[in-house]
Amino acid sequence: MIPHEKAQENMKRLIVVKSDDLGVVLGVGEVSSVPTWPTNTIFHSSDPALPLNDRTPRFLQVLRLYEVVNEPELIIAEVYNQPRLDKRNIPPIWHRGHRVELRYALLGRSQANIHLPPLWEVSVDRELIGTIDGNLSDDKLAEAATAFATRHIDRRLEAKNSQY
């Protein structure tokens, strides 16, 4: 047996399904073992850990993860679309090969009693690149963050290309 064939032999098939309609398969991929995601883990649809057919920007929450009793090579991940996000723990967004992270920054009031609005700090590959509106709804958050990251990535590429 060729080594890569043996590795493939030990692989399990991960099937992602909608929690409210288990007949709807969102994606299928291979994993070497059952993932150890904590209950209610939230992912962005761009995360390569979740094998999805449709990468439309959205957040998904893994509600249950289990092996199929009669088919031990099958793992089912039941996910819920558009979960309520915890502003203290937004999952990373993968965009154009870069990791985009968001951190909620509630600035409150300054010494001069000027009210400052809440903001989301946006980082690309762990580099803080700026802020976006902190009052965005959960469904608009990823869209705004990736648009902001795109501009940053494009400017970085243009600067790099102009050096040559």
Question: Which burial class, exposed, middle or buried, applies to 60 when counting CB atoms under 10 A from its CB (0-12, 13-18, 19+)?
Answer: buried
What Cα–Cα distance (Å) separates residue 7 from each residue in 30, 32, 127? 11, 8, 37
Domain edges within the chain: 3-81, 93-162
Other CB atoms within 10 Å distance of the CB of residue 146: 21
- Rg of the chain over CA atoms, in angstroms? 20
Q: What is the pLDDT of residue 116?
A: 72
Q: What is the pLDDT of residue 26?
A: 92
Task: State the amino acid at position 4 in one-letter form.
Answer: H
Question: Which burial class, exposed, middle or buried, applies to 50 when counting CB atoms under 10 A from its CB (0-12, 13-18, 19+)?
Answer: buried
Is the pTM higher than 0.85? The answer reads no
Q: Residues with Cβ < 8 Å from 96, sequence gap 6 or more? A: 149, 150, 153
d(CA 78, CA 76): 6
And the tokens for 141? 């958050």
- How does pLDDT run across 32-83, given as a tens digit for each residue? 888 888 888 999 999 999 999 998 888 999 999 988 889 889 999 999 887 7
**Residue 160 scores a pLDDT above 80:** yes
And the tokens for 2? 């060729």
